[in-house]
């Protein structure tokens, strides 16, 4: 079965509206529905689709409502349409349980969960973009009785939105995001929480490390409260692992012997290497070239022009905040084998660069 439309999008917030825009970009007819007539008008005005009237027969319904309303909205759609139904919620087991507890077998087989790993610090239809899903993983989570055609349609939807679909069971998905998303979020909040109220003369020593570790702790607490709440079981499993490891770490720091601490730190190094590298391949060894850059518009352009001329591909960039002077430090992360080449090229161009 191929995705021909129409696609009905229920909920025109950031994700729903972005989905509508991406489908329209691909020439698929999109119908929109929202309990907020204001959101609906905005999404429609942006070109994400047209408001549903009720007489249409969608091929696929995508439910994009907040976690607290997900189960009920999925059930309502399975009852009122004959379409295949999916969603874009951050957690998959709970909504499936809700659907399975009330749906008929035919309704249940028309449902397949989904979770595009995309978002923004902003919300609402005005923040939407057809390119929101570009290059992002999109988890598709069939349950044992999901119709294969439903899964095929959602895989096609994900690809059409520019995402990279990944098939997992709902339970696996929830365990995966507990570890790779919800745990980092909570731990980032713990570290950041230890900075709140610290003396300013202590915080002035903050370097790039603590900024990286705490960046995501700045996200919307209300949204994360719902997400964590909906995945409490899997989150508690990994939190209890972390609690044991933290106890082991406290014992290791207290001990006059250092081997145990070294082993915990080495396990961390192994973990960073386990995260897939760019383009899904194994992580390649990279090196950082540091460059001093005056803090004016245009200087970064000049730097990247010179870096581009060197022919060395930049894998990642960081700009280090400078606590006292109008000079920034830019970190260019490149293939380890080519870092010296880049450094030399930049130095020839008059940049102060080092590794």
**Which residue lies nearer to its own copies by CB, 9 or 228?**
228
Among the listed residues 80, 43, 74, 38, the one whose alpha carbon sits nearest the alpha carbon of residue 58: 80
Among the listed residues 268, 282, 19, 312, the one whose alpha carbon sits nearest the alpha carbon of residue 163: 19
CB of 81 to its own copies, least distance (A): 29
Q: Are 190 and 159 in contact (CB under 8 A)?
A: no
In the block, residue with structure tokens 């009330």: 102
Q: Which of 4, 79, 148, 207 binds its own copies (CB under 8 A)?
A: 207
What's the rounded Cα separation, in Å, for the pair 105 and 126?
Answer: 38
What's the rounded Cα separation, in Å, for the pair 136 and 149?
Answer: 23
Q: Does 171 bind its own copies (CB under 8 A)?
A: no
Q: Does 97 bind its own copies (CB under 8 A)?
A: no
Q: Are 178 and 231 in contact (CB under 8 A)?
A: yes
Among the listed residues 201, 199, 196, 193, the one whose alpha carbon sits nearest the alpha carbon of residue 323: 201
Interacting positions 238-267 with its own copies (CB under 8 A): 238-243, 245-247, 249-250, 253-254, 258, 261-262, 264-267
**Which residue lies nearer to its own copies by CB, 103 or 130?**
130
> Could you tell me which stretch among 48-56, 104-112, 124-132, 144-152 binds its own copies (CB under 8 A)?
124-132
Interacting positions 10-39 with its own copies (CB under 8 A): none
Q: Which of 79, 184, 294, 337 binds its own copies (CB under 8 A)?
A: 184
**Which residue lies nearer to its own copies by CB, 18 or 81?**
18
**Which residue lies nearer to its own copies by CB, 148 or 336?**
336
Q: Does 120 bind its own copies (CB under 8 A)?
A: yes
**Which residue lies nearer to its own copies by CB, 4 or 131?**
131
**SS3 (DSSP) at 32:** strand
Q: Which of 41, 50, 69, 318 binds its own copies (CB under 8 A)?
A: 318
* Dihedral in degrees, nearest 10, Cα atoms 216, 218, 223, 224: 50
Q: Does 176 bind its own copies (CB under 8 A)?
A: yes
CB of 136 to its own copies, least distance (A): 8
- Residue 303 vs residues 310, 329, 352: alpha-carbon distances, Å: 11, 12, 11
Contact flags string 272-311 toward its own copies, x per CB under 8 A: xxxxxxxxx------xx-x-x--xxxxxxx-xxx-xxxxx
- Which are the contacts of 246, defined by CB distance < 8 A and separation ≥ 6? none
Q: Does 236 bind its own copies (CB under 8 A)?
A: yes
CB of 141 to its own copies, least distance (A): 11
What's the rounded Cα separation, in Å, for the pair 176 and 115?
Answer: 12
Contact flags string 145-164 toward its own copies, x per CB under 8 A: -----------------x-x
């Amino acid at each position: 079965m191929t995705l021909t439309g129409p696609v009905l999008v229920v909920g025109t917030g950031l994700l729903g509206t972005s989905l509508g825009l991406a489908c329209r970009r691909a020439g698929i007819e999109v119908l929109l529905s929202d309990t907020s007539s204001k959101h609906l008008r905005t999404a429609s005005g942006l070109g994400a689709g047209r408001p549903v009237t009720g007489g249409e027969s969608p091929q696929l319904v995508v439910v994009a409502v907040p976690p607290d309303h997900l189960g009920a909205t999925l059930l309502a759609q399975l009852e009122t349409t004959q379409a295949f139904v999916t969603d874009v919620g951050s957690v998959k087991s709970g909504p499936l349980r809700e659907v399975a507890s009330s749906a008929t077998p035919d309704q249940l087989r028309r449902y397949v969960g989904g979770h595009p790993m995309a978002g923004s610090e902003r919300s609402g239809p005005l923040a939407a973009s057809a390119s929101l899903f570009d290059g992002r993983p999109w988890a598709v989570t069939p349950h044992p009785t999901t119709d294969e055609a439903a899964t095929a349609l959602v895989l096609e939807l994900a690809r059409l939105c520019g995402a990279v679909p990944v098939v997992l069971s709902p339970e696996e998905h929830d365990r995966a995001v507990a570890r790779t998303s919800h745990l980092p979020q909570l731990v980032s909040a713990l570290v950041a929480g230890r900075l709140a109220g610290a003396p300013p003369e202590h915080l002035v020593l903050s370097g790039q490390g603590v900024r990286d570790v705490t960046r995501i702790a700045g996200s919307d607490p209300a949204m994360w409260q719902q997400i964590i709440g909906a995945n409490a079981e899997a989150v508690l499993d990994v939190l209890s692992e972390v609690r044991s490891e933290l106890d082991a770490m406290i014992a290791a720091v207290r001990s006059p012997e250092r081997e145990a601490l070294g082993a915990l730190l080495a396990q961390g190094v192994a973990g960073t290497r386990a995260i897939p590298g760019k383009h899904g391949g194994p992580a390649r060894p990279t090196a950082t070239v540091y460059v001093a850059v005056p803090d004016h518009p245009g200087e970064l352009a000049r730097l990247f022009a010179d870096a581009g001329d060197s022919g060395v591909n930049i894998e990642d960039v960081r700009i280090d905040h400078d606590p006292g002077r109008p000079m920034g430090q830019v970190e260019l992360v490149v293939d380890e084998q080519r870092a010296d080449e880049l450094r030399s090229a930049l130095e020839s161009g008059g940049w102060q660069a080092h590794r």
